[in-house]
Amino acid sequence: MAVTPADVAEAMLRATTAPRHRLRYPVGKVAEQVGLLSRIMPARLFDKALRQQFGPPS
């Protein structure tokens, strides 16, 4: 489940060589699941879940 340096390097290669750049390049299964949740959940609920998980922004 952990993201390896090779996974990150692969994502960086995709990001730098893509003909059309995206805002985010999720790396790993958890990042993809969080991205899916952000599209399904209402924004307020998603933000609340992030704040509970990581704390308020400083």
pTM recorded for the entire structure: 0.63
Summarised one tens digit per residue, pLDDT across range 5-39 is 999 999 999 999 999 999 889 999 988 898 899 99
Summarised one tens digit per residue, pLDDT across range 42-56 is 999 998 988 898 887
Task: Return the domain boundaries, the chain.
Answer: 27-58
- Burial label, 50 (beta-carbon count in 10 A; 0-12, 13-18, 19+): middle
Dihedral, CA of residue 38, residue 36, residue 13 and residue 20, to nearest 10: -70
